[in-house]
Amino acid sequence: MIPARVRAVCQIIADDEIYAESGAVGDVLDSTVVDGEVVLLVMFPKAPLATTCYLGDMVAPFLSVVR
């Protein structure tokens, strides 16, 4: 199952810019599987563009709790 939102587990850098700090939550726009790994297109709130992230290595599913 592909998550709708993910949390960065490390600093996400693309094109020499920081797209997200560890802990930032982003929305998953698209997903695919490449060589057995789940690759997600993620939009983080402070990022100028969406970026490609590997599930497990760079991001983890974000589960929110309703109170």
CATH of the domain at 16: 2.40.50
Count of structural domains within the chain: 1
41 in a domain, yes or no? yes
Find the distance separating the first CA and the last CA of the chain, reported in whole Å: 24
Range of the domain at 42: 5-61
11 in a domain, yes or no? yes
Q: Give the type of residue at 43.
A: M
67 in a domain, yes or no? no
Q: Using one digit for the tens of pLDDT, what is the confidence trace for 10-62?
A: 999 998 999 999 999 999 999 999 999 999 999 999 999 999 999 999 999 99
- pLDDT-derived band at 1 (thresholds 50, 70, 90) equals confident
66 in a domain, yes or no? no
Residue 36: Cβ within 10 Å count? 5
